[in-house]
A and B are shown apart, each in its own frame.
Chain A
Amino acid sequence: MKFTLALTRQCNLACTYCYIGKTQEQMSPETAERIADFIFQSTPPGEKIDIGFFGGEPLLEVELIKTIVGMITGHRLYESQRVLFSVITNGTLFSDEIAASLKQHNITLGISCDGPPGIHDFSRVFADGSSSSGIVETNIRKALHFFPFMPVNAVYRPETLRFLPEVIDYFAGLGVRNIYLNPDISARWTREDVAALPELYGSIGKKYIEFYRAGVPCHISLVDSKIVVILRGGYQPLEKCRMGKGEFAFAPSGNVYPCERLIGSDEGGKHCLGNITQGASLLKSCCHDVEHSVNEVCSTCGLHDYCMHWCGCTNYFSTGDYNTPGPFLCSSEKAAIETAYGIIEQLGREGFTFSDHLAGTPLMSILGEVGALSAP
């Protein structure tokens, strides 16, 4: 089960694509306590619990993070081997003191950075419009000393899509071994963008091969997850989007959403399942059904089992329906799968086996995967 807590709606950055409406609102300890109870009540016995601290900027609320970790670890149903904590930060507030505190509380870290300065600062700037790339780069280098396999999450947009290979080079140069690439799902992707995907992902695949041959493999999300899925014969039921069933996001107000990407301005509305302070029993169920595609194109597609056509939030932003994917997702998934297949064939001829991928996981969430990779 995955639980994302948006601790605050405040942020010191003003990223142009941010889907969280900014206010001064913070989560109260009382609300957090209700969430802690909900987490243990709603998680089936024995299942792992991924708790992600999110925002706004969660490191503005370090003390609240510690308080909530205390609530969880002090809960009567707490079992240390089941619970993973992670925090995703914009990378501007990181310090040695914060690193020590996160490690002390067994919280793993991920940093959002879109790539080299010219790309990062295209979207991720301070409220006054000034650059954040310098401080984020410094903090990524610093954070890697504390968290060597720390994932870095890069969002790409139509304007920055064509620089993805440079983004990979930049992160590899910083020593980042765990690179997540995510499209801005709310962007207006064009036919030209979609047409460029196979070549761009192919370029990323070539870099992946270079790293592999050099003996310093990088985890690149869109490649590695598909290698895993190809070798394992597709996504298994519990590896798919479980929004509103195995995944919940909490706004500072206590409103519950099926996915953190759907919190938005937290105005309630059709995504909101209810408010945790009014009791978990009053929450609505989510209508997303990952097993049933509504369009024939997907249900008859040969890649149906290998594709993330079931990602409810991506679909919603593209077509207005949780169950209906749009052309960008379709083309992106196909290009990623073809790239991964090409890599397996190419490196397979050179004697690389990918047997470690066979036993691995194709988890799609950076929040969950941070913990899975860094569990003490």
Chain B
Amino acid sequence: MLWQFSEMKVLYISVDHEQIINKTENAMPTNTLDWGIRFGIPADFWVLKEQMVGEFIAANKLAAVTHEAMRVDAHPISEKLATEKNKSITVDYILNIRGGRRTPHLHYKGDLYILDAKQWQSFSGPLLKEFGNHLAAANTIGFENFIEIGESISAISHL
């Protein structure tokens, strides 16, 4: 095998219906005409956190953006929409360097939800709090550890 597929999280994208289904799979699908498979590009935050996003939208009674001009990037897979017609949107993504719209927003089931600053703080606060807990539990590989590791590797490398 040139690559490994064992228990890899795979995102299937239905090109026809632009619906995204999160699925765990052990092997490549045999039919890749109707189902695109995403290896090697980042897992989409909006899919991975779909439940959390949905709960936030419901709790805050957010309404999806209906104006078509605002909806063109409502789909997480923006490059699939990079047709000649909306190429300026793609350029805007590039100008933003990291690839996303700067206005605080959420994607959920193909719809776009715009947030104000307060709502964004409310949404991102738990994410940052979760990270703060991780940061507080950080370890450090000191040079003492390094010597021990080096010795361990030396000890087993001849086996």
B35-69 contacts to A (CB < 8 Å)? 36-43, 45-46, 48-49
Q: Is the CB of A2 within 8 A of B102?
A: no
Tally chain A residues at the interface, Cβ within 8 Å: 74
Chain B positions within 8 Å of A231 at CB level: 45, 124, 127-128
* Chain A proximity mask over B95-109: 1 for CB below 8 Å, otherwise 0: 011111111110100
Closest A residue to B29 using CB positions: A45
Chain A positions within 8 Å of B145 at CB level: 295, 297, 327
B6-21 contacts to A (CB < 8 Å)? 8-9
Q: Which of A54-62, A123-131, A352-360 contacts B (4 or more CB under 8 A)?
A: A352-360
A224 near B: Cβ within 8 Å? yes
A92 near B: Cβ within 8 Å? no
Closest A residue to B10 using CB positions: A238
B121 near A: Cβ within 8 Å? yes
B137 near A: Cβ within 8 Å? yes
Q: Is the CB of A359 within 8 A of B141?
A: no
A203 near B: Cβ within 8 Å? no
Smallest CB separation, B61 vs chain A (Å): 20
Q: Is the CB of B3 within 8 A of A42?
A: yes
Chain A positions within 8 Å of B1 at CB level: 285
Chain B positions within 8 Å of A359 at CB level: 45-46, 76, 98-101, 107
Q: Is the CB of A320 within 8 A of B150?
A: yes
Q: Is the CB of B143 within 8 A of A327?
A: yes
Chain B positions within 8 Å of A238 at CB level: 8, 38-43
* Count, A-B residue pairs, CB within 8 A: 198
B109-139 contacts to A (CB < 8 Å)? 115, 117, 120-121, 124, 127-128, 130-139
Q: Is the CB of A45 within 8 A of B3?
A: no
Closest B residue to A349 using CB positions: B121
Chain A positions within 8 Å of B2 at CB level: 42, 245, 280, 283, 285
A297-353 contacts to B (CB < 8 Å)? 297-298, 300-303, 305-306, 319-321, 324-327, 329-331, 334, 337-338, 341, 344-345, 348, 351, 353
Q: Which 7 A-B pairs have the closest CB atoms?
A: A302-B137, A359-B100, A360-B98, A356-B100, A45-B32, A330-B141, A236-B43
List the interface of chain A (C-beta within 8 A of B). Answer: 1-2, 42, 44-48, 81, 149, 177-178, 191, 194, 217, 219, 224, 228, 230-233, 236-239, 242, 245-246, 280, 283, 285, 295, 297-298, 300-303, 305-306, 319-321, 324-327, 329-331, 334, 337-338, 341, 344-345, 348, 351, 353-363, 372-375
